[in-house]
Structure 1
Amino acid sequence: MIASDENGLSPKQRSFAFALLNDIYSSQKGGYWIEEKETVKQHFYATYEYYNGLDFGEFSLSDAKGNKTDTNQFINMLLDYAAIHDISLSVKPLNELEPQEIARWEYRCLLDKRCVICGKSHADFAHVDSVGANGGNRQKINHLGLRSMSLCREHHQEQHKIGIQSFMNKYHLNGIKIDEKIALAHGLNMR
């Protein structure tokens, strides 16, 4: 069971969660239960409650019942579903996520090869830490521990145009340190 906090959810969180539910409904990806918007909402509420040991009807996005922690985790579940089913998002997650949730989105995008800025699939692997400064040859260098991110062609070009630090500041990114899971997903050298 999740230890929920007593802090109420923010209007921004609530709005983002409903935008994600609408994107999932609009995509019509997921099965027979996608008939109506309310059915989609109830499906994900019940799924969240089940996997987090909550009683039926205990999770809510209402101002009176909802809390910040559960809502963040619910949003992450919806983002995971959207990523798995390649659902286009109507809002950019980086503009909507709580600061502590951005790193999770960055990591997810690296694993899924999805642009961390706009969510487009088939994104490029982009180094945050300069490879040239760490030994030069991208094929031979040990990538473990270096920071990276996943960017679509458009955002990757913007990153090169304005410079890495300006880009990171503009989008409030930190980059993710490459671990074995990311290295395997991208076929990167680990020794």
Structure 2
Amino acid sequence: MFKLNEMAVKPVMIADAGFMYAAKMSGQASHYDLFTPDAGELAFLADEIAPHPFYTRGFMLHTDNKVTDLVQRAYEHENAAQYLLVKGSTDYIMNQTGLLFSVDRPSVESMEAIGGTGDTLTGIVTALISTGMNIPAAAYAAAKINRIAGLYANPTPATQVIEIINQIPRAVEKVLKEDHGGSF
């Protein structure tokens, strides 16, 4: 991290799952540009004393906790990146000031059971950012693209993630053309 911070042009730093954990535990989470947690991973970020997701205190995982409350808590304890794309039945794009965007349509319930859909979302947002798109816009577009790719794949809980991946180009085209005439 010290070497990256010395660079004239710092790379965009994006972390999902394991690397998010390392960023939090090293005290360097705030140096990152984007984290892509799900609700359980967000609870770990919000728990200022948990050294590992396994040790997240129970009240953090209680269903009454709202994503916005957990995000606020993660920022209070400097355990969050500049932006968060929180994956779930509703995807939330947030920063320290609060909610920027949310995406809940299309809703493809069977995607929740398919391993790798969070990885597709992280990959899509990373690809969009690499084109020069700003992080909030890329996160919003990625959330929509991932959901539409899932819809196009018409998945069941037995669907393999490659079937969704194969639909990403088609979903990218649809989202980028519909939202702002392709000028995101």
TM-score category (smaller protein): under 0.3
Larger RCO, structures 1/2 (Cα 8 Å, 6+ apart): 1
Superposition TM-score, scaled by structure 2 size: 0.25
